A and B are shown apart, each in its own frame.
Chain A
């Protein structure tokens, strides 16, 4: 069966520090991968998605970037964190998006910027 792992679960970082959040998927090949952010009291906002190695699409302009160095690895990064980057970050995967298949989420990373 397929599993998705995200780490760390929680992270406290000072303003201006770099960020690297990692997500890996097991049990499937060539998944679509996604990074979401959930702000308090709001739904999930899509930040990035990837349909293959090295292929990244950004949904909203921001201080963050994403990379996909391997088929089942997705990384969310920042060179300098802002206070507004605080939130709950979720990685998700899916099979081919053109068909009626759900996205499956990891357990998320709670990021607090001080």
Chain B
């Protein structure tokens, strides 16, 4: 039962352009959403999060948008840089639960 879905397994983008990663969820109890970045042979690194009381959160080049009615969130990276090439995981949970549900990840490749 996959409650968080990342339907695009990969994304290729030119350096300097925008990367848009999408994530859908099915559990209406989820109210806290996170994005993690993972390089090969390393653990995921927390990138940015958003709670359901907001529809946008920005941190430098990274912005997360949340559309609660559509149960959809997205991560925008502007401008994309070669060091952004990694796997990005979307995760979500309910605030009264310990458990994070993860998507399968999207592999981003930034072309020079």
A contact residues vs B (CB 8 Å cutoff): 6, 9, 32, 41-46, 49, 51, 59, 90, 92, 97-100, 102-108, 110
B contact residues vs A (CB 8 Å cutoff): 2, 4, 9, 32, 34, 36, 41-46, 49, 51, 89, 91, 95-105
**B96 contacts which of A6, A42, A49, A98 (Cβ < 8 Å)?**
A98
In the complex with contacts A43-B4, A43-B105, A108-B42, A100-B98 CB distance below 8 A: no
Min CB distance A93 to B, Å, is: 11
A49 touches B34 (CB 8 A): no
User: Can you list 18 A-B pairs with a CB-CB distance of less than 8 A?
Assistant: A9-B41, A42-B104, A43-B2, A43-B4, A43-B89, A43-B102, A43-B104, A43-B105, A45-B102, A59-B99, A98-B95, A100-B32, A103-B100, A104-B46, A105-B43, A108-B41, A108-B43, A110-B41
Residues in chain A near residue B91, CB distance under 8 A:
44
Residues in chain B near residue A41, CB distance under 8 A:
9, 104
In the bound complex, CA of A99 to CA of B44 (Å) = 20
A107 touches B42 (CB 8 A): yes
